[in-house]
């Protein structure tokens, strides 16, 4: 005890260094001291023992010196203490001396710092270069350790509040460092308790130092205890989150404690400071085990709100202003840069976790997949997963992103927010973003393509120039790929980037210019976009002179080409350049006094002259030039000076080329007598002009035969008439703000044609005369179509009447053209749409007889050599003579009712009607009954549509909607590209977006509903007049056919409009409500106030009212499809299933008769019946019961009936439609059993019994359908049975057999009964396989191998079920004879062995049969394997099995 109070004295004499000692260069300082440092001699045990052990204590800030290795030093001290006679008291005395020595802070600091080696006589080998501090060496001595630790921890509070000294040294931190990595700790538990006690009172900085050092101080045995203490501390003090988590990450913890700690950390996640977030996330992810990965990741994703980590742009700007003014900001409001750094660290933590642990990457994918409301973290994680080299996570991220985009759960707004707030973070994942954008843009699914475009656009906007270059390069690659949808989207994106970022895109113009080398694969519409893009880059505000020169070179080269394809490219490109050079505002900086620059005007004029001169020799090229110039004038704003120049030249040339003054006599040599036709001007004083059509056509034919002799001769082709007029009227509209007064005479002026009675004599004309007549009709129709395009928007009643008359002219001329084309086989009409893929048109194959058969919808019996699925019914021979007689009667009837062919295949040869023409549908409907009731008095007072004109407009509208709103997904271009181009005739429509088209149709919905109600009223009146009979004497067959067509077209137009996938997009929800509001408003006013569900309900009820007047089955099908579409628009489609099924059942139970009194039949009727029956079975509540009703009640009624006799319960079912019913029943039965939930071991008795009952019903239905093949044994029926029989069997194996496994013991009799019934069906399927082999029919034998495999699988599956239930002794495998459909044994396989087996089968007990018969259906292969040595002939005959 006295040792503590005694102070050590300093004897300066003893500390002097020897004079002759050589000054050595310090190993630590690296320089030679001028004089030796003064030594400090400590009296007492402490000082003596240290000197004797080899340590010299220094003073004045000089490090202590050690002359021996630290291990030797520790051994000497330990020996001196142990050998001392005062041991163990000497230990306390030694410690007291140490405490006295370190009372002085300077000496204490020296003892904490590493000792310096002292080398004598140049011996460098005795002491290592690095030595520990004096206190740390003493801590290595076990007998001193606890006492020294206590002394250090008592000294530590003295320095807690002191900061670092001048050298940056923190005494508390150095003290803690003395305790790290000790070889052994004598009392770990006490040390841990003292450290935790110290933590509770220390300041934050010292707390952090102690906590982070704990794993390096304590032994593993203390890890769990200290972790609990830290966990408790974590909940109390969030400031220590990072050091605690660092410490916990390094501790070895039990799984239960780790889970407890992780849950505590997760609970504090919302309160964690922003800069601590990365450490927290990293700890959570690295503490996950495989079993709880999904749960932890889901919870982490839910609580991780990265949106709150980044300030909005407005606040960022305000904080930057405050920072500029020198205003101090609090640490809790980090800058945008620091917050993005935090997000980057969080994402890096996630990346390191998913890279090395597959379970975590899978958990993130599942967590994102399981939610619908997505956050920024979801996109960041998907990009991170894609950036990892592991193929599985890359593919999983790509697949999941596509699914979420397709379902609309991840939208462009989330992507925009992610790019806006985390630009720096996303920059590191640019390669993944680019790869994902490429994949989305190349996807065949049109729903995900736009999202890929948004990724490209945001990448270009947000990232640096390198990324922008990569984006442009990737888009150019897409354009050059040649895949339609991909090219369109990429060009749209490039055009959008040029509009939004012209200065930045100008830097990469050389990339875009490279597309000029790949124009061969581009469509005209894509070429327009390309040249629009390039001309904007070349002639926009950021002018690129090098691009201008290259474009002029390309244009001149293409225009001078004699190949039509390249000349077309040159014309399109030149017109687009004219648009960019001549548009308003393109040269705003160079304009002087608001006038257009003369130099630019001269260039525009010269380019137009060049195009015109290059296309004069080819009427097709000239017509394309007129069309392209018309599109330019319609879609862009040209300078008035350029506009006037074009307009004046067009007006003069049109008058000179195509308009003539009427003369009393028309002179010239023509194939037919010339006559002025279709004049609407009653006053002969209005100009006396006409369109010089037939003379021009005759002159053009002469021009083709002989070349012009003079250069002045100009070729004026009637081919350019319609395009030239379109250009003329658009110029007039533009210059006169929509007023067409100057050219309105062209609406009523006549055409120089010939008397159309010549069509009746078509068969007596020569081929050249027939073709001339067809050409004349095509040109006349196309002229009238362009006239209607021009004047359809006029408001005056007189103009509307004339437009209606021109519509009537078209419908009449089309009937004449149908007859003319029927008499002119091999005729190729003149081109009408000049921007198609190719002007090399496909000649429509339309033989007269075939067209007649297709037009009337009747069915022609196929010849005996053809294998048609519709016509191969094996009927009684007695009916063939009757059918031949019936066909002759049908032919005669057709010649009387209709002559000519359908114009469907000739649509590409008619000029495109503008969308505005459909506004004519706003006129009322004029039917014959209306004329009779009003006695023609009000016909001229109100403009009314006739049935033929209504059908004409609706057909055009439906084609437009199906093209625009039912866009097919982008597909890879086939190796041999087909010549047919579906976009021909829709070039004007392609200028409008689907949203515009849908909005336009919805505006017309009230008028379409009016026409629908008029058609309904017409047929209602017809039925009442004929006492409910469709084919009454008052029925006008032609009008009935037109009104029926109009009725069906109206329903199909409504269905196509409401089926548009764009309604599912959030922005178009109001458009859908508006459409349904129109339908609901016809039934109940105030539709604007109803919600979507109510709108669907009232719309459904409104449309349901039309079901009472269906003229034919096709219209009934269209109504059913429309009702199904409407019901799906609400949130409860199941509520309408029963009504839809009931309606379909009513239609199927109706006898359908044509207006002429005959039963409906033919391929079109069968197709409609197939779809309607499918709708019925899809919507009915119990499919199995419905199948049983038809197969068990309806079909037996026609088994013994005549050919034309129908079932009484299902009038649409007869022998001719049996195949349709059979195919649908089999398909829907197979689809229904796939929806039966599989049996599970945990199912209770009631659930098992219910599923077993369902399968019993399904198997019974299947047995009935399979047995029908014995009666209806035609090839198509057998083919259907083989195909769907295998599918049914596979579903039974997959879903039904597990149920039998678990139900066998509890419901043995039910299982046996089910298998016995199913065995009868599988045996019949086996007979069908034999039947197919006998007849060697490839279409049947293709199904046999897969079916045989399934039958064998069924055999072994039953054996496995019996073995599972300990009944394997009941299983027996034998030989099943090959038989045909009638049950007769196939003679080529008869053998002695099979006869013996047959005898054995007869001797078996019934009880054995019950369990064994199910195993015989496909065991023939197994049986034959065992008999191959005994029956070699049988083996040979069965090789094909």
Q: What is the pLDDT of residues 259-306, one digit of tens each?
A: 888 888 888 777 777 888 888 888 888 888 777 888 888 888 888 887
Q: What is the DSSP letter of 1210?
A: S
Cβ atoms of 642 and 586 within 8 Å: the answer is no
Average pLDDT over residues 328-343: 56
Instruction: Check residue 163 and give left, alpha or beta (phi > 0: left; psi -120 to 50: alpha).
Output: beta
Kindly tell me if the per-residue pLDDT of 728 is higher than 60.
yes
Kindly tell me if the per-residue pLDDT of 590 is higher than 90.
no
Token match 């008619």: residue? 910
Greatest Cα-to-Cα distance within the chain, rounded to the nearest angstrom:
154
Cβ atoms of 485 and 970 within 8 Å: the answer is yes
User: Which residues neighbour 417 within 8 Å (Cβ) at sequence distance 6 or greater?
Assistant: 307, 376
Kindly tell me if the per-residue pLDDT of 156 is higher than 60.
yes
pLDDT tens-digit series, residues 35-48:
445 566 666 888 88
Least confident of 424-428, 749-753, 1187-1191, 1366-1370: 1366-1370
**Distance in angstroms (rounded) separating the CA atoms of residues 1288 and 40:** 101
- If we measure between CA atoms, which residue out of 463, 285, 511 comes closest to residue 377? 285
Average pLDDT over residues 385-389: 86
Beta-strand ranges (E) seen in 817-939 are 924-925
Per-residue model confidence (pLDDT) at position 123: 53
**Distance in angstroms (rounded) separating the CA atoms of residues 1311 and 1292:** 13
Kindly tell me if the per-residue pLDDT of 446 is higher than 60.
yes
Average model confidence (pLDDT) across the chain:
78
Cβ atoms of 578 and 637 within 8 Å: the answer is no
Per-residue model confidence (pLDDT) at position 884: 36
Per-residue model confidence (pLDDT) at position 162: 76
Q: Per residue, what are the HEC states of 1281-1344?
A: HHHHHHHHHHHHHHHHHHHHHHHCCCCHHHHHHHHHHHHHHHHHHHHHHHHHHHHCCHHHHCCH
pLDDT tens-digit series, residues 1286-1322:
899 999 888 888 888 878 877 788 888 888 888 888 8
- If we measure between CA atoms, which residue out of 1381, 1255, 1262 comes closest to residue 1324? 1381
Per the structure block, which two tokens stand in for 28?
């630590």
Helix, strand, or coil (residue 1275) = helix
pLDDT tens-digit series, residues 662-678:
877 777 777 888 888 89
Average pLDDT over residues 1156-1161: 81
CA dihedral sign, ordered 354, 360, 366, 371? negative
Cβ atoms of 531 and 576 within 8 Å: the answer is yes
Buried b (16+ CB within 10 A) or exposed e, 1309-1321: ebbbbbbeebbeb
pLDDT classification of 836: cutoffs 50, 70, 90: low
Cβ atoms of 660 and 761 within 8 Å: the answer is no
Cβ atoms of 654 and 725 within 8 Å: the answer is yes
Beta pairing partners, 39? 58
Record the pTM. 0.73
**Distance in angstroms (rounded) separating the CA atoms of residues 990 and 332:** 54
Which own/partner contact pairs does 960-963 have at CB distance under 8 Å and 24+ positions apart?
Answer: 960/915, 960/986, 960/989, 960/997, 961/997, 961/1001, 961/1053, 961/1056, 961/1057, 962/1056, 963/989
Cβ atoms of 230 and 253 within 8 Å: the answer is no
Per the structure block, which two tokens stand in for 38?
């003064």
User: Which residues neighbour 1325 within 8 Å (Cβ) at sequence distance 6 or greater?
Assistant: 1266, 1281, 1282, 1285, 1289, 1347, 1351, 1417
Q: Per residue, what are the HEC states of 197-255?
A: HHHHHCCHHHHHHHHHHHHHHCCHHHHHHHHHHHHHHHHHCHHHHHHHHHHHHHCCCCH
**Which range scores top for mean pLDDT: 266-280, 411-425, 1405-1419?**
411-425
**Distance in angstroms (rounded) separating the CA atoms of residues 966 and 969:** 9
**Phi, psi at residue 65, to the nearest 5°?**
-110, 150
What distances in angstroms separate CA 1194 from CA 17, 871, 877, 1159, 1270, one per listed residue?
Answer: 125, 22, 24, 19, 17
Per-residue model confidence (pLDDT) at position 1205: 83
What ranges in 1375-1438 are assigned the alpha helix state H?
A: 1392-1403, 1406-1412, 1420-1427, 1432-1437
Within a 10 A sphere around the Cβ of 1293, how many other Cβ atoms?
A: 15
**Which range scores top for mean pLDDT: 550-564, 652-666, 859-873?**
550-564
Q: Per residue, what are the HEC states of 112-177?
A: HCECEECCCCCCCCCCCCCCCEHHHHHHCCHHHHHHHHHHHHHHHHHHCCCCCCCCCCCHHHHHHH
**Phi, psi at residue 1293, to the nearest 5°?**
-65, -40
pLDDT tens-digit series, residues 939-998:
445 678 888 999 999 999 999 999 888 755 444 444 444 445 567 778 888 888 889 999
Average pLDDT over residues 1169-1191: 91
Per-residue model confidence (pLDDT) at position 25: 36
Residue 612, judged by CB atoms within 10 A of its CB (0-12, 13-18, 19+), counts as middle
Average pLDDT over residues 1023-1031: 72
Beta pairing partners, 392? none
Cβ atoms of 994 and 964 within 8 Å: the answer is yes
pLDDT tens-digit series, residues 463-504:
999 999 999 999 999 998 888 788 888 999 999 999 888 888
Kindly tell me if the per-residue pLDDT of 778 is higher than 90.
yes
Cα 829 versus chain centre, distance: 40
Residue 625, judged by CB atoms within 10 A of its CB (0-12, 13-18, 19+), counts as buried
Per-residue model confidence (pLDDT) at position 1389: 46
pLDDT classification of 815: cutoffs 50, 70, 90: very high
pLDDT tens-digit series, residues 614-664:
888 889 999 999 999 999 888 878 888 888 888 888 888 888 889 888 877
Strands 674-677 vs 751-754: parallel, antiparallel or unpaired: antiparallel
Per the structure block, which two tokens stand in for 1285?
């029989």
């Amino acid at each position: 005890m006295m040792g503590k109070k005694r102070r050590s004295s300093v004897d300066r004499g003893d500390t002097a260094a020897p004079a002759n000692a050589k000054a050595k260069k310090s190993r630590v300082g690296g320089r030679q001291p001028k004089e030796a440092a003064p030594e400090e001699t400590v009296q007492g045990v402490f000082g003596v023992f240290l000197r004797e052990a080899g340590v010299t204590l220094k003073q004045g800030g000089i490090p202590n010196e050690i002359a021996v290795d630290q291990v030797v030093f520790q051994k000497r001290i330990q020996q001196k203490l142990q050998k001392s006679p005062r041991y163990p008291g000497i230990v306390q005395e030694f410690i007291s001396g140490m405490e006295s020595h370190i009372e002085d802070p300077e000496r204490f600091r020296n003892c904490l710092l590493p000792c310096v080696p002292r080398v004598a006589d140049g011996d460098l080998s005795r002491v290592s270069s690095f030595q520990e501090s004096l206190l740390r060496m003493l801590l290595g001595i076990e007998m001193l350790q606890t006492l020294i630790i206590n002394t250090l921890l008592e000294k530590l509070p003295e320095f807690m509040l002191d900061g670092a000294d001048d050298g940056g040294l923190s005494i508390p931190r150095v003290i803690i460092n003395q305790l790290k990595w000790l070889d052994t700790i004598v009392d770990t538990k006490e040390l841990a308790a003292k450290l935790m006690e110290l933590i509770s009172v220390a300041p934050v900085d010292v707390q952090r130092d102690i906590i982070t050092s704990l794993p390096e101080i304590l032994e593993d045995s203390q890890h769990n205890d200290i972790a609990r203490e830290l966990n408790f501390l974590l909940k109390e003090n969030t400031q220590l989150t990072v050091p605690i988590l660092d410490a916990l990450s390094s501790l070895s913890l039990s799984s239960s404690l780790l889970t407890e700690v992780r849950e505590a950390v997760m609970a504090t996640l919302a309160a964690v400071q922003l800069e601590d977030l990365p450490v927290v996330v990293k700890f959570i992810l690295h503490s996950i085990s495989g079993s709880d990965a999904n749960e932890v990741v889901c919870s982490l994703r839910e609580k991780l709100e990265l949106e709150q980590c980044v300030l909005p742009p407005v606040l960022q700007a305000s904080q930057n202003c405050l920072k500029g003014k020198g205003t101090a900001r609090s640490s809790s409001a980090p800058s945008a840069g620091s917050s993005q750094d935090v997000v980057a660290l969080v994402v890096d933590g996630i990346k390191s976790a998913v890279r090395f642990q597959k379970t975590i990457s899978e958990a993130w994918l599942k967590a994102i997949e399981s939610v619908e409301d997505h956050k920024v973290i979801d996109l960041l994680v998907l990009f991170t997963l894609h950036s990892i080299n592991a193929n599985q996570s890359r593919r999983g991220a790509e697949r999941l992103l596509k699914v979420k985009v397709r379902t609309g759960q991840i939208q462009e707004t989330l992507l925009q927010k992610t790019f806006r707030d985390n630009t720096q973070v996303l920059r590191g994942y640019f390669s993944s973003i680019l790869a994902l954008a490429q994949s989305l843009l190349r996807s065949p699914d049109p729903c995900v393509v736009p999202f890929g475009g948004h990724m490209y656009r945001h990448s270009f906007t947000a990232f640096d120039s390198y990324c922008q270059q990569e984006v442009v390069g990737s888009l150019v690659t897409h354009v050059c790929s040649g895949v339609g949808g991909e090219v369109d989207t990429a060009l749209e994106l490039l055009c959008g980037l040029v509009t939004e970022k012209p200065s930045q895109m100008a830097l990469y113009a050389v990339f875009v210019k490279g597309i000029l080398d790949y124009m061969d694969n581009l469509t005209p519409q894509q070429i327009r976009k390309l040249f629009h893009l390039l001309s904007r880059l070349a002639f926009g505000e950021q002018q690129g002179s090098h691009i201008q020169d290259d474009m002029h070179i390309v244009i001149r080269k293409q225009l001078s080409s004699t190949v039509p394809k390249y000349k077309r490219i040159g014309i399109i490109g030149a017109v687009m350049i004219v648009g960019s050079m001549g548009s308003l505002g393109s040269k705003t900086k160079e304009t002087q006094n608001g006038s257009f620059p003369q130099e630019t005007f001269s260039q525009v004029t010269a380019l137009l002259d060049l195009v015109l001169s290059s296309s004069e020799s080819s009427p097709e090229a000239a017509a394309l030039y007129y069309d392209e110039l018309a599109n330019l004038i319609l879609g862009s704003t040209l300078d008035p000076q350029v506009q006037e120049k074009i307009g004046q030249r067009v007006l003069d040339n049109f008058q000179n080329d195509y308009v003539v003054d009427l003369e009393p006599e028309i002179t010239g040599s023509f194939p037919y007598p010339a006559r002025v036709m279709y004049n609407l001007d009653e006053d002969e004083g209005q100009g006396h002009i006409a369109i010089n059509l037939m003379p021009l056509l005759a002159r053009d034919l002469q021009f083709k035969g002989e070349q012009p002799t003079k250069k002045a001769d100009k070729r004026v082709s009637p081919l350019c008439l319609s395009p030239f007029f379109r250009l003329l009227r658009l110029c007039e509209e533009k210059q006169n703000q929509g007023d067409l007064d100057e050219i309105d005479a062209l609406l009523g002026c006549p055409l120089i044609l010939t008397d159309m009675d010549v069509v009746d004599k078509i068969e007596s004309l020569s081929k050249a005369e027939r073709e001339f007549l067809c050409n004349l009709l095509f040109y006349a129709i196309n002229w009238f179509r362009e006239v209607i395009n021009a004047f359809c928007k006029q408001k005056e009643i007189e103009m509307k009447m004339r437009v209606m008359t021109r519509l009537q002219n078209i419908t009449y001329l089309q009937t004449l053209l149908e007859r003319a084309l029927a008499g002119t086989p091999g005729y190729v009409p003149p081109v009408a749409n000049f921007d198609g893929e190719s002007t090399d048109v496909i000649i429509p194959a339309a033989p007269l007889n075939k067209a007649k058969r297709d037009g009337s919808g009747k069915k022609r019996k196929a010849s005996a050599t053809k294998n048609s699925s519709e016509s191969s019914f094996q009927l009684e021979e007695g009916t063939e003579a009757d059918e031949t007689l019936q066909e002759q009667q049908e032919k005669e009837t057709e010649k009387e009712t209709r002559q000519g062919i359908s114009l469907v295949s000739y649509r590409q040869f008619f000029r495109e009607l503008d969308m505005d023409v459909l506004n004519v549908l706003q006129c009322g409907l004029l039917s014959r009954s209306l004329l009779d009731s009003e006695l023609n008095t009000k016909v001229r007072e109100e403009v009314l549509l006739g049935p033929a004109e209504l059908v004409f407009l609706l057909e055009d509208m439906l084609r437009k909607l199906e093209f625009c709103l039912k866009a097919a997904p982008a597909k890879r271009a086939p190796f041999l590209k087909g010549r047919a181009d579906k976009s021909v005739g829709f070039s004007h429509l392609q200028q409008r977006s689907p949203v515009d088209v849908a909005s336009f149709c919805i505006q017309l919905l009230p008028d379409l509903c009016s026409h629908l109600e008029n058609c309904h009223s017409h047929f209602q009146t017809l039925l009442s007049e004929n006492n409910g009979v469709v084919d009454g004497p008052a029925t006008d067959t032609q009008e009935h056919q037109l009104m029926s067509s109009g009725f069906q077209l109206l329903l199909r137009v409504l269905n196509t409009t409401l089926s548009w996938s764009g309604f599912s997009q959030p922005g178009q929800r109001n458009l859908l409500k508006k459409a349904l509001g129109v339908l609901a408003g016809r039934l109940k006013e105030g539709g604007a106030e109803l919600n979507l569900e109510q709108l669907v309900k009232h719309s459904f009820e409104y449309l349901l009212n039309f079901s009472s007047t269906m003229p034919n089955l096709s219209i009934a099908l269209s109504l059913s499809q429309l009702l199904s579409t409407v019901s799906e628009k609400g949130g409860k489609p199941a509520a309408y299933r029963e009504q839809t099924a009931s309606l379909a059942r009513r239609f199927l139970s109706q006898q359908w008769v044509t207006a002429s009194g005959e039963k409906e039949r033919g391929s079109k009727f069968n197709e409609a019946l197939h779809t309607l029956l499918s709708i019925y079975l899809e919507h009915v509540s119990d499919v199995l019961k419905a199948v049983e009703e038809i197969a068990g009640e309806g079909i037996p009624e026609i088994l013994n009936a005549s050919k034309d006799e129908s079932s009484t319960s299902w009038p649409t079912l007869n022998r001719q439609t049996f195949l349709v019913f059979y195919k649908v029943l089999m398909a829907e039965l197979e689809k229904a059993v796939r929806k039966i939930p599989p049996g599970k071991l945990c199912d209770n008795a009631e659930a098992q019994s219910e599923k077993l009952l369902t399968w019993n019903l399904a198997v019974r239905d299947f047995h009935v359908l399979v047995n029908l093949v014995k009666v209806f044994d035609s090839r198509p029926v057998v083919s259907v049975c083989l195909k769907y029989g295998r599918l049914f069997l596979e579903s039974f194996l997959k879903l039904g057999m597990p149920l039998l496994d678990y139900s066998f013991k509890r419901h043995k009799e039910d299982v046996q009964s089910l298998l016995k019934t199913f065995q009868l069906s599988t045996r019949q399927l086996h007979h069908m396989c034999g039947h197919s082999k006998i007849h060697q029919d490839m279409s049947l034998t293709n199904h046999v191998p897969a079916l045989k495999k399934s039958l064998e699988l069924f055999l072994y599956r039953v054996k496995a079920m019996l073995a599972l239930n300990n009944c394997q002794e009941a299983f027996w495998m034998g030989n099943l004879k090959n038989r045909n459909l009638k049950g007769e044994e196939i003679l080529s396989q008869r053998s002695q062995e099979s006869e013996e087996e047959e005898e054995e089968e007869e001797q078996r007990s019934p009880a054995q049969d019950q369990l064994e018969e199910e195993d015989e259906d496909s065991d023939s292969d197994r049986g034959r394997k065992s008999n191959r040595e005994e029956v070699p002939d049988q083996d040979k005959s069965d090789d094909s099995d």
